[in-house]
Amino acid sequence: IPPPNQLHGSYHWDFERLLSLSMVPLFAVSAIQGSHPITDGLLGVVVPIHAHMGFDAMITDYLHPVKVGVAGNKAFVWALRGATVLTLVGCYQFNTSDIGLTELIKKAWEA
């Protein structure tokens, strides 16, 4: 068992903040420049990971083993992991085989 480290949680917090902050210029570039494979690819990774981290925090805070049981907690965690993987695959397929995420958002906004 590795010794406890006080900074272990801060790396996770720093990564969450960095991921959230990276979305601001990414959305701005997408809105100004329009559709581009690089920005669509980054959006297809950053947004699902950001959503995964948010839902994971919700599961940790509100669906912990004391409330839903160990099996229930594990089911929620694995359901989230599965949904995240499927979302990442869907974003990849949409970006490579269809119009891309930026163009989709643009068309939905104008509809």
- Please check whether residue 26 lies inside any domain of the structure: yes
pLDDT for the residue numbered 82: 98
- Please check whether residue 74 lies inside any domain of the structure: yes
- Please check whether residue 78 lies inside any domain of the structure: yes
The pTM score is 0.86
Which residue has better confidence, 22 or 3?
22
- Please check whether residue 50 lies inside any domain of the structure: yes
11 is in an annotated binding site: no
- Please check whether residue 75 lies inside any domain of the structure: yes
| Lookup: tokens for 76 | 């929620």
- 2 pLDDT above the threshold of 90: no
- Please check whether residue 2 lies inside any domain of the structure: no
CATH of the domain at 20: 1.20.1300.10
pLDDT for the residue numbered 15: 87
Cα gap 80→98, rounded to integer Å: 25
Which residue has tokens 């958002």? 105
Cα gap 45→36, rounded to integer Å: 14
- Please check whether residue 1 lies inside any domain of the structure: no
pLDDT for the residue numbered 54: 95
Cα gap 43→59, rounded to integer Å: 24
**Full domain range(s) for residue 31:** 8-110
Split into its structural domains, the chain has a count of 1
pLDDT for the residue numbered 92: 96
From residue 20, how far is each of 9, 49, 98, 106, 110 by CA, in Å?
17, 10, 26, 21, 26
Task: Return the C-alpha torsion angle 12, 17, 21, 27, nearest 10.
Answer: 60
- Please check whether residue 3 lies inside any domain of the structure: no
